[in-house]
Amino acid sequence: MTLLLVENLAKGFGGVCAVDNVSFRLEAGELLAMIGPNGAGKSTCFNMVNGQLRPDAGRVLLDGKNIVGLPPHDIWRMGVGRTFQIAATFGSMTAVENVQMALISREGLLYRMWRRADRHAREEAMSLLERVGMADQAERPCGILAYGDVKRIELAIALANRPKVLLMDEPTAGMAPKERIALMALTRDLAHENGIGVLFTEHSMDVVFGYADKLIVLARGKMIAEGDRDSVRDNPRVREVYFGAGKTAGLHA
Amino acid sequence: MRASILGAAFLAAFALGAHAQTQGPIRIGEINSYKAQAAFLEPYRKGMDLAVQEINAAGGVNGRKLEVVTRDDGGNPGDAVRNAEELLSREKVDFLVGGFLSNIGVALTDFAKQNKVFFLASEPLTNKIVWDGGNRYTFRLRPSTYMQVKMLIPEAVAAKKKRWALVYPNYEYGQSAVATFKELLKARQPDVEFVSDQATPLGKIDAGVVTQAISDAKPDAIFNVLFGADLAKFVREGETRDLFKDKTVVSLLTGEPEYIDPLKAEAPVGWYVTGYPWYAIKTPEHDKFLAAYQKQYNDYPRIGSIVGYTAIQAVAAGVKKAGSTDTNAMINAFEGLEFMSPFGKVMFRKQDHQSTLGAYVGKTAVKDGKGVMVDFSYKDGSDFQPTDEEVKKLRPAD
Amino acid sequence: MSAAGLLVQLLNGLADASSLFLLSAGLSLIFGVSRIVNFAHGSLYMLGAYVAYSILERIGGTPLGFWGSVLLAALAVGAIGAMIEIVVLRRIYRTPELFQLLATFAVSLIVKDAVLAIWGIEDLLGPRAPGLAGAISILGRRLPQYDAMLILIGVVVLAGLHLLLTRTRWGVLLRAATQDRDMVGALGVNQALLMTSVFCLGAFLAGLGGALQLPREPANAGIDITAIGDAFVVVVVGGLGSIPGAFLAAVLIAEIKALCIALGTIALPFGLTIAFPKFTLVAEFVVMAVVLVLRPWGLLGKPQAAAVSAGPPETPLAPAGRAQKWLASAVFVALLLLPLLAGGNSYAIVLAIDIFVGVLFATSLHFIMGPGGMHSFGHAAYFGLGAYASALLLKAAGLPMPVALLLSPLGGGLGALLFGWFCVRLSGVYLAMLTLAFGQIVWSIVLQWDDLTGGSNGIIGVWPSAWLASKTTYFYLALVVCAACVLAIRRILFSPFGFALRATRDSSLRSEAIGIDVRRIQWIAFIVAGAFCGLAGGLFAFSKGSISPETISVSRSIDGLVMVLLGGVQSLAGPVIGAASFLVLQDQVARDFEYWRAALGVLILILVLAFPGGLVGALRFRLRRA
């Protein structure tokens, strides 16, 4: 069964069609890149998949189950992790506490009012930080970390729930080129090891063409292409709409 | 650091608590909302100070001088109770006097009972202090809401008006005044109709709308309980909109300088009111008080001055009769205590601990650009009480 | 009532709406741009009335003199507003949210006493406007000419502000700043000047409103409080920062009130009657609650971007270190010994009981305000519900006093259960104002429900059982309860729930994305805070022996805010130290100064300017540097 199946998704804001009839599928262990110019509807798509926005039409099937209309916190429990375009972590908590928070939530202990939270599942949280290379920053408050580090914390948080699907909105924005490669390599390894399906958006074409197994291209809310790297790269419509007609190089959007 | 701040706070509290207990003067603890109700209580304080000065100049009471320790409760009953405890424990006062707002008066009344302390509620008007909330430790000086309304009933009956409108502030004072008025008037004039009933939020009357609503109900008489800024707004709107033309108006407290003076030349004319016409009272007691007050303060007295002055006279007379400030002796002395006030002889009733201090009832007029009372007479409080039977029913047994 | 009567009543309502709008427009402007909850707005309005009175006394005899006086008074108040911005507020823009409220509160205390000192205690009824003293006949009824003029002025000011905001560069900048202040700074605009000018204009409008009200209402030292309440309601109902919204809200509220008064008392079948005029006591707050529930951003407001605190980010919670634990234990032991040292009946004991109650009250408020990020302007509701619950359980239900006290959290908790459900659907100032609305609704119900609550006089005879009645025993009871509750609240904050609560505050987006049901967490936090606050109310009731609607009043809610902000909202010890210092200060100052409110205001202002992170923040800073 397909891990994540999106069918005919649509969303409008005040008469403007932000996402129009978008369909795609994501298999376990696969990295799917969603690309398109600013305002193409990528974040809106993400927000509909993880429940932040309710689509006007269409279905989102996770393991065959329609999750449209569920709130984000329920969709997360079903195995959809998420990182944000502008990284969102808990600024008044340390890096490790951020991850612990997600672990507490996973285990359904949110309403416990007595035992100390910072002693909960510390080892697991540390090993997740280790995975993203942030173990040495574990005790620093997230509010003062460098932006690239915060993005990695976000990944650790997203992994805490052992997700089936990972939605990553510009995971490497604000990182140095070397860091980007390291983070995407890590993501790919994680996806392959654990059979996680990763849907990500990205402006860096190096990252996209370096790591994505498959691509979908959006423009003005519509899907204009879909396929593997080469077929998308060579698709004339993509070249026209996305990269600008006649240009072959300059793959940064 | 937390310790040091708290510690400093408590050290400060100790240091101030270390007042040595003085043997000499009789210490009176006085609690009031001085700043929150300044218009009444500043003259009140002056009245008190004057009485203390006069009594001490004449040698004090039983050879001891009087000393008043005042506390501002900020209009907050909880703080008033704390002030009471402070006055008793730290200032070692002999008994308590005070209260302006009814809820504070009631809270102090109950505090007196619980702590077995003598308390003279000087101003608060609520009936509760001497009726269902009354107790043997508490006496009240000012004529109650019930008494003052009852003083106005003869005027209301004499007007022979059938359709009455009621306008009053929406809290206990206004509600109980109106309830009393309706009950007493209906008893004397069974065919009376109450055609409009306007309970307005205290201090926030929408005067224009209220005035027209009353006018639209076509009453031929109005009973008003508004005071202060609400009264001023109501009067101005009513005048502009011809509300009062050809209507009898009976109005509580409006003749008190505190409330009629701010209206200046726009004071209503021909209203039947309770109040205090200090400029026209011609009795030896009042002349003496007036002369002394004006000499001391270069200002005329308000009703607050009378209440403050009389409260001190009352406790002085009580202590003198009791021979000490012992609580039980004071209670025994106060029951039936007679003394002279600027309004003449006053007595504290044994049956409900209410004093017979009265009020002046008259008609309003404008003279030299100021609101005054004319054709007034003094109504002695003893004539405007419920029967002893009723009092017994209203008041819990001690 | 005839149709003609109704029509004229609606005109009367329009005149009231116009004064409400003039009162509120400035507040909306100031809030829109600066996000400052300007508590002194009512004081500026009051100053407008007083200053106008003084000028009118001299030159108000002619129409020119009258309108000149009104304008002069408004200008004077505008200048005072600019001064407040320059001297006080400019220094504390970069502090945790709401901290400026503390400063403006202090200013309002000072202004109140200054007014009494300068203009005296008597209400000052201004002259009628020359040439507009009479009335116009409409449908057989008389509408004051001045009211008609006021309606006109309201519309003119609305149009003028609209033009100013849409057609001038200054207005465009202002509207941009309403969206994003920092962006305007990035455009190279002098932010400080922009702020000062907004404050000046806001204060000018407040002064104008106050001055124009003078022919309708005497200047008195109580208008500041009623004015600030009304202004906030109008601004929030209209939508923060929206001038047309404020106008619409003013009309809505004034007309609903006019309608209630016009309807009068209506008899229903079965001998029931409804006294509609009584509803005016709370009408605006009911309107506000309904509007906020249906339209979370007011009538014409726009959804606000998540409020970004201008202050430094909060540091992670650190469990108490050895020194802290030692200190806390030392304080506790010292308090245990207090009755022995000070004497069992000493005033220190009495004051300490009030401080314990205040500490618990403030700590429960801090729980939702600090870690929860939900500002409550109506926390006294839960205090009062707890107090009334225990008083009624004792007096009406006849339960023993210890049981009644133990059940007091139920009162506060149930109230929070009901109100919290609505509140957590909002955020920021809208949430705060909804809590205020609920507080006022509870207050008015308690005030009106005579048979149950004793009305404005309240309930007396709420004394502890004999074995708890001595001051010393009650002191120990209060100490133990308060200490246990403060520790329990602390414990909760370190627990998974406490972490989840802070998580919802830090980022609701992230919280939802890791399975945290933000609203449910916030709702439960409300209930927890309400329950603890209810217990504080119960302790209070039995320590005083009586309670009245004052326990639910706005001023108690404000006191709570002041305590929390004074101590420092970003620290768990903040509410404890804030409450203790505020109560000790107030007690001391009230005794030592005649103008004690002003003295308290000056003290708070000094503390605010000296320690912009609150007292605890200041202590921490010192310790770290030492």
Pair (B135, B160) in one structural domain: no
- Indicate the residue of C134, C281, C550 with minimum beta-carbon distance to B76: C550
Q: How many angstroms from the chain centroid is the CA of residue C563?
A: 13
> Whole-angstrom Cα distance, residue C561 to residue B278?
46
Asked if residue C33 belongs to a domain, the reply is yes
Asked if residues B163 and B219 have their Cβ atoms less than 8 Å apart, the reply is yes
The pLDDT value recorded for residue C557 is 94
The pLDDT value recorded for residue C267 is 82
The pLDDT value recorded for residue C305 is 55
Supply the CATH number for residue C282's domain.
1.10.3470
Asked if residue B243 belongs to a domain, the reply is yes
Number of domains in chain B: 2
Asked if residues B169 and B202 have their Cβ atoms less than 8 Å apart, the reply is yes
Give the end of a domain, one of C554, C582, C614: C554
- Indicate the residue of B39, B111, B196 with minimum beta-carbon distance to C264: B196
Instruction: Give the domain range for residue C360.
Output: 347-554
Q: Which residues fall within 8 angstroms of residue B314, CB to CB, at 6 or more apart?
A: B120, B141, B337, B339, B341, B346, B348, B355
Is A137 touching C (CB cutoff 8 A)? no
Q: Do A52 and C503 touch (CB under 8 A)?
A: no
Q: Does position C271 have pLDDT exceeding 80, yes or no? A: no
Pair (B200, B311) in one structural domain: no
List chains touching A (3+ CB pairs under 8 A): C
The pLDDT value recorded for residue C343 is 80
Note the pLDDT tens digit of each residue in B265-315: 999 999 999 999 999 999 999 999 999 999 999 999 999 999 999 999 999
Is C497 touching A (CB cutoff 8 A)? yes
Residues 138-197 of B with CB under 8 A from C: 170-173, 175, 196-197
The pLDDT value recorded for residue B4 is 46
Q: Which of A90-104, B328-342, B353-367, C127-141 has the lowest mean pLDDT?
A: C127-141
Give contacts of C116 with chain B, Cβ < 8 Å. Answer: 35, 38
Pair (B295, B234) in one structural domain: no
Write the CA distances from C220 to B251, C124, C227, integer angstroms.
22, 7, 12
Q: Do C347 and B89 touch (CB under 8 A)?
A: yes
The pLDDT value recorded for residue C461 is 93
Is A35 touching C (CB cutoff 8 A)? no
Is C490 touching A (CB cutoff 8 A)? no
Q: Which of A252, A80, A96 is nearest to A172 (CA)?
A: A252
Q: Does position C313 have pLDDT exceeding 60, yes or no? A: yes
Residues 227-246 of B with CB under 8 A from C: 228-229, 232-233, 236-237, 240-242
Asked if residue B376 belongs to a domain, the reply is yes
Q: How many angstroms from the chain centroid is the CA of residue C432?
A: 9
Note the pLDDT tens digit of each residue in A8-18: 999 988 778 88
Asked if residues C355 and C579 have their Cβ atoms less than 8 Å apart, the reply is yes
Structure-derived torsion over alpha carbons of residues C416, C419, C424, C428, reported in degrees to the nearest 10: -100
Pair (B8, B89) in one structural domain: yes
> Whole-angstrom Cα distance, residue B338 to residue B345?
7
Range B214-237 average pLDDT: 95
Pair (C285, C360) in one structural domain: no
List chains touching C (3+ CB pairs under 8 A): A, B
Q: Does position C94 have pLDDT exceeding 90, yes or no? A: no
Nearest CA in chain C to B239: C134
* Between C221 and A1, the higher pLDDT residue: C221
Asked if residue B319 belongs to a domain, the reply is yes
Asked if residue B210 belongs to a domain, the reply is yes
Note the pLDDT tens digit of each residue in B240-275: 999 999 999 999 999 999 999 999 999 999 999 999
Give contacts of C505 with chain A, Cβ < 8 Å. Answer: 92
Q: What is the mean pLDDT of chain C?
A: 90
The pLDDT value recorded for residue A252 is 41
Instruction: Give the domain range for residue B14.
Output: 2-143+284-358
Asked if residue C331 belongs to a domain, the reply is no
Asked if residues C425 and C519 have their Cβ atoms less than 8 Å apart, the reply is yes
Q: Is the dihedral of CA C34, C35, C39, C41 positive or negative?
A: positive
Domain boundaries, chain A: 1-79+164-177+206-253, 89-162
Note the pLDDT tens digit of each residue in B319-348: 999 999 999 999 999 999 999 999 999 999
Give contacts of A52 with chain C, Cβ < 8 Å. Answer: 509, 512
Residues 65-104 of B with CB under 8 A from C: 71-72, 74-79, 81-82, 85-86, 89-90, 102-103
Is C281 touching B (CB cutoff 8 A)? yes
Is B265 touching C (CB cutoff 8 A)? no
With cut-offs at 50, 70 and 90, classify the pLDDT of residue B151.
Answer: very high
Q: Does position C412 have pLDDT exceeding 90, yes or no? A: yes
Is A69 touching C (CB cutoff 8 A)? no
Q: Tokens in use for C399?
A: 């339960």
The pLDDT value recorded for residue B108 is 96
Q: Does position A246 have pLDDT exceeding 70, yes or no? A: no
Nearest CA in chain A to C314: A92
Pair (B196, B132) in one structural domain: no
Q: Do C123 and B232 touch (CB under 8 A)?
A: yes
Note the pLDDT tens digit of each residue in C341-376: 988 778 999 999 999 999 999 999 999 999 999 999
Is A157 touching C (CB cutoff 8 A)? yes
Asked if residues B390 and B187 have their Cβ atoms less than 8 Å apart, the reply is no
Q: Do A92 and C498 touch (CB under 8 A)?
A: no
Give contacts of C500 with chain A, Cβ < 8 Å. Answer: 101, 104-105, 110
For residue C6, the distance in angstroms to the closest alpha carbon of chain A comes to: 40
With cut-offs at 50, 70 and 90, classify the pLDDT of residue B23.
Answer: low
Asked if residues C534 and C383 have their Cβ atoms less than 8 Å apart, the reply is yes
Is C517 touching B (CB cutoff 8 A)? no
> Whole-angstrom Cα distance, residue C479 to residue C485?
10
Which spans in B119-167 are helix H?
A: 145-158
Pair (B63, B161) in one structural domain: no
Write the CA distances from C575 to B13, C408, C538, integer angstroms.
21, 21, 19
The pLDDT value recorded for residue A247 is 44
Asked if residues C235 and C246 have their Cβ atoms less than 8 Å apart, the reply is yes
Pair (B82, B225) in one structural domain: no
Pair (B375, B229) in one structural domain: yes
Asked if residue C584 belongs to a domain, the reply is no
Q: Do C319 and A93 touch (CB under 8 A)?
A: no
With cut-offs at 50, 70 and 90, classify the pLDDT of residue C37.
Answer: confident
> Whole-angstrom Cα distance, residue B104 to residue B93?
19
Asked if residues A78 and A68 have their Cβ atoms less than 8 Å apart, the reply is no
For residue C500, the distance in angstroms to the closest alpha carbon of chain B comes to: 28
User: CB-side exposure of B85: number of CA atoms within 13 Å?
Assistant: 26
Percent of chain B residues past pLDDT 70, beyond the cut = 94
The pLDDT value recorded for residue A45 is 92
The pLDDT value recorded for residue C224 is 92
Q: Do C498 and A113 touch (CB under 8 A)?
A: yes
Is B10 touching C (CB cutoff 8 A)? yes
Number of domains in chain C: 2
Strands B138-140 vs B119-121: parallel, antiparallel or unpaired:
parallel
Give contacts of B262 with chain C, Cβ < 8 Å. Answer: 122-125, 218
Write the CA distances from C452 to A20, B111, C385, C541, integer angstroms.
60, 21, 13, 16
For residue C413, the distance in angstroms to the closest alpha carbon of chain A comes to: 16
Note the pLDDT tens digit of each residue in C541-580: 999 999 999 999 999 999 999 999 999 888 889 999 999 9
CATH of A1-79+164-177+206-253 among 3.40.50.1380, 3.40.50.300, 3.30.1330.10, 3.30.70.360: 3.40.50.300
Pair (B241, B288) in one structural domain: no
- Indicate the residue of C258, C327, C547 with minimum beta-carbon distance to B2: C327
> Whole-angstrom Cα distance, residue C355 to residue C582?
9
Pair (C256, C371) in one structural domain: no
Q: Do C550 and B103 touch (CB under 8 A)?
A: yes
For residue C592, the distance in angstroms to the closest alpha carbon of chain A comes to: 42
Asked if residue B395 belongs to a domain, the reply is no
Note the pLDDT tens digit of each residue in A17-58: 889 999 999 999 999 999 888 888 888 999 999 999 999 999
Pair (B275, B308) in one structural domain: no
Q: Does position B16 have pLDDT exceeding 60, yes or no? A: no
Provide the whole-model pTM.
0.92
Asked if residue C545 belongs to a domain, the reply is yes
Supply the CATH number for residue B309's domain.
3.40.50.2300
Asked if residue B250 belongs to a domain, the reply is yes
Asked if residues B395 and B134 have their Cβ atoms less than 8 Å apart, the reply is yes
Asked if residue B398 belongs to a domain, the reply is no
Chains B and C: 3 or more CB pairs within 8 Å of each other: yes
Q: How many angstroms from the chain centroid is the CA of residue C362?
A: 15
With cut-offs at 50, 70 and 90, classify the pLDDT of residue B15.
Answer: very low
Pair (B154, B166) in one structural domain: yes
ipTM: 0.91
> Whole-angstrom Cα distance, residue B48 to residue C132?
44
Pair (B350, B238) in one structural domain: no
The pLDDT value recorded for residue C31 is 85
Pair (C212, C274) in one structural domain: yes
Q: Tokens in use for B5?
A: 């701040």
Q: Does position C297 have pLDDT exceeding 90, yes or no? A: no
Is B59 touching C (CB cutoff 8 A)? no
Note the pLDDT tens digit of each residue in A179-190: 888 889 999 999
Q: Does position B14 have pLDDT exceeding 50, yes or no? A: no
Range B218-226 average pLDDT: 96
Note the pLDDT tens digit of each residue in C447-490: 988 889 999 999 999 999 999 999 999 999 999 999 999 999 99
Nearest CA in chain B to C262: B213
